[in-house]
Chain A
């Protein structure tokens, strides 16, 4: 749909007819339903599930980053008492087909199996698996598996991987390139002509890290020989896509894979690409005719599961007018996805949801190449792909402001998309639905006392500290149009999005809700109940939302899962639709019993009753009992089940593949963060001394949950900005394979956070809400900007990396010219600085 068409579909708030009462439970901080079990240790996480006679899986993993597998000998392991069996790559190659690849060639030719076949490509890659009676024994036995390797040359750098003489990871692909493509929107050449200055940045680097959920990945897998079906008690966060990967590989139908989750100890995108491990588990459960459990070790999660995408930005060019108006930018991006693409190359397009960031930039040219290296594969990581790109847009703004001696606040306000332009169409056809970025920025600045900044600088200076302020502006684009996958591969048969819920009225009047989603702490049971009870005229306590996900509930669809900031739109959209269907059925049944029309009835106080006569009421229990257990005499044509399933489907078109143009996401939540740092003049050690996060996610269903998401996402961003990094040595060894070396924020590392909120309802979503869990990236941008601001008096060093531990800050201080030389400014009167 075009913007005018979309505009025409928008109904002004005062004209909206809504089924949701204005003063209901939606919008209130109702007590979380999940908490009672979780605070008492009564949650059920996958590793809490055990079976009689089960076996424990331990993977034998590669100590080499790149090597040929000469031989694998499991005979000694099998001789150990208590060992149930093994699995090797040779067996996997016979029993399964490679997972399908999303990419066009060369990436399309990559062969990815559950275990390494013939060659290992990263340290920690599973080569074989051992199953034994205890986890300790399985670990012992894995030591007895003899693997002979022939080491190969290693490549750990994305740019090096592109060189002619670089070792090639996947010979069948013929190159380390997974995917490459160019994007050209607006008229970039004309923008260059029009510019008063052109700012050029040689290189910026967005580092590798991940959200490292505290619960590692895993599954207890049972195989039913009689039906040929597997049940996986697991923590996969996107079973719909997981099954689409696994079933063809295992050569079975989708329904042979039953995913069951209850509680999940955080996921953040890192539990989307578990299919290789799960296929190995399925093969072992079938081979050994025994329930098997794989529980990932922390070291394994760090080395071999899911990192966030690392991205290097080269030859950045920004045409600017003298007043600080930026006309766009061009960039060459090299994205390093590690040894296997898996969910990639979707990251090569997901960034395009936020092509111009928060800005009115109309002319943008991006040359994007994704490569394989001998490092852990990546997977979506909170803020997936947009975070890297938005870091670039924010670095552009702060570097341009620094070079042109402009105020970063003023430059932002000059370039921000304005609230009166909403809904705003970006140069590549995305529709920013609503928002007021400048107002969010004002609130953030007020929260950190921006007015008295100069006094604070002086006061800090008296303590030999350099004070700096930085702003991070982001958009959390939510509810994907999977049609964007066709922009990387036109052959892919994915588009749109969907989510499912069922709501039923049971025999004793209980309302039971099942979700297709797979929550990991986002409070879906609570917010779903809020939506249901407002429609049915009862309270959240009357609504039982089943925790977790089960394929057997039949309440899922192809895109079901919990990812990509969408529950408030897709999940609750499905809940709302199913509940409205149920409400209509309850009135229909009530009208038969009470001898009136459905329109004469309303739902209130846990009853269906006559609008004009509240005494004529049937409690929910009566409705449930009549239909389910006492239905003699009901009319033959009464089509009522009291068990309603609804598939929510946002309105999307397939993008224009020629122009690479179209709406890629439904909603855009806003985050504007402001960070104040104090840097020690001698050492480069710094502290975040004040921090404000302002969030606008439209109508908030549950403000406390929204605020909790903001806190958590911000903490992950501050961790990434300061310490969290996955660096490799030249041999491909990860240097931070555990929580000793990989320093995530502790309670003492986190500054108290100040929060502000505005609500710009989305005109496109069922409840005016927007997905909002992934906006924390603003914290990386804000911290980088604050450090650059603090160090400015020392010779204007440029923050060029997204991770700035103390040693890097010290280097920026020690040799400011080194980083400053990454940037040049060309004045269009011919001068260059």
Chain B
């Protein structure tokens, strides 16, 4: 067995420490070691974006980063979006606009969209599509995903 490395990481505000194989990917740390299975895996080439999380605020595909690369850093996953039982505006909007079908791409899609709305509070459809280009969906044709991000922007503007 390879030698293990220690990783101390804060995920959704909670501190974790684990000894892991150096080659363990962040996505597998989250899913298999920490039990945060909302972050998904859809490819082996960092193309699909199902594993998108926020790392110190940056959107990253968690399959492109070794777990030890998150050492000493903060991760936010889909499980950390709702507050006190209230859905995040993007979660509400995906639900209301039918922005998901099977739900497999949804966590990554929503995490990517959080970054779009932080950068562009009133994004155009083209800006939304550009912002989601790294996330694949095989169910929706993206039409209602774009509508959901638009709707979430409106909700946040009202809030």
Contacts and interface: CB of A to CB of B under 8 A. Distances in A.
Interface in B79-111: 79, 81-82, 87, 91-92, 94-96, 98, 100-107, 110
Contacts of A704: 98
Interface stretch (A185-193, A656-664, A748-756): A748-756
A475 interface: no
Nearest to B94: A39
B13 interface: no
Given A32-B98, A265-B103, A750 B91 contact: no
A39 B43 contact: no
B142 to A, nearest CB: 4
B138 interface: yes
Nearest to A712: B139
B23 interface: yes
A133 to B, nearest CB: 8
Interface in A678-713: 704-705, 707-709, 711-712
A714 B140 CA distance: 9
B3 interface: no
Contact of B42 (A214, A521, A707, A740): A214
Interface stretch (A41-49, A433-441, A497-505): A41-49
Q: Chain A binding site: helix, strand, loop or mixed by DSSP? A: loop
Contacts of B135: 747
B131 to A, nearest CB: 8
A55 to B, nearest CB: 13
Contact of B45 (A520, A738, A746, A750): A738
Contacts of B48: 214, 298, 739
A39 B100 contact: yes
Contact of B104 (A40, A266, A268, A738): A266
A522 interface: yes
A708 B102 contact: no
Interface residues of A, number: 62
Contacts of B96: 31
B55 to A, nearest CB: 17
A142 B112 CA distance: 35
B44 A521 contact: no
Nearest to B148: A39
A298 B136 contact: no
B118 interface: no
Contacts of B95: 31-32, 35-36, 39
A308 to B, nearest CB: 14
B71 to A, nearest CB: 19
Given A215-B104, A747-B135, A753-B143, A82 B1 contact: yes
Interface in B107-149: 107, 110, 125, 128-130, 132-133, 135-146
B151 interface: no
B104 A45 contact: yes
A712 B78 contact: no
A268 B133 CA distance: 23
Given A712-B101, A738-B44, A739-B43, A212 B138 contact: yes
B101 A748 contact: no
B36 interface: yes
Interface in A710-744: 711-712, 714-716, 738-740, 744
A298 B40 CA distance: 13
B62 interface: no
Contacts of B28: 135
Given A32-B98, A134-B21, A215-B102, A711 B32 contact: no
A711 B144 contact: yes
A748 B129 contact: yes
Interface in A1-43: 31-32, 34-43
A215 B106 CA distance: 12
Given A708-B144, A739-B136, A45 B45 contact: no
B38 A716 contact: no
Given A738-B47, A739-B47, A747-B129, A38 B103 contact: yes
B150 to A, nearest CB: 12
A47 B36 contact: no
A566 interface: no
B36 to A, nearest CB: 7
Contact of B101 (A40, A522, A746, A750): A522
A80 B36 CA distance: 30
B8 interface: no
A614 to B, nearest CB: 34
Contact of B136 (A41, A136, A214, A263): A214
Contacts of A214: 40, 42, 48, 50, 102, 104-105, 136-138
A58 to B, nearest CB: 13
Contact of A747 (B21, B44, B102, B142): B142
Contact of B143 (A36, A37, A50, A752): A752
Given A214-B50, A746-B136, A39 B142 contact: no
Contact of B103 (A43, A81, A746): A43
Interface in B25-64: 28, 31-32, 36-45, 47-48, 50
Interface of A: 31-32, 34-45, 47-48, 50, 81-82, 134-137, 211-216, 263-266, 268, 297-299, 520-523, 704-705, 707-709, 711-712, 714-716, 738-740, 744-748, 750, 752-753
27 contacts: A35-B103, A38-B106, A39-B87, A39-B95, A40-B38, A40-B91, A47-B31, A47-B41, A48-B37, A136-B23, A211-B138, A214-B50, A215-B40, A298-B42, A521-B101, A521-B103, A521-B139, A708-B98, A711-B140, A712-B140, A712-B141, A715-B138, A739-B47, A744-B136, A746-B133, A747-B128, A753-B141
Given A40-B79, A263-B103, A753-B141, 5 more contacts: A135-B28, A521-B101, A708-B144, A746-B133, A750-B143
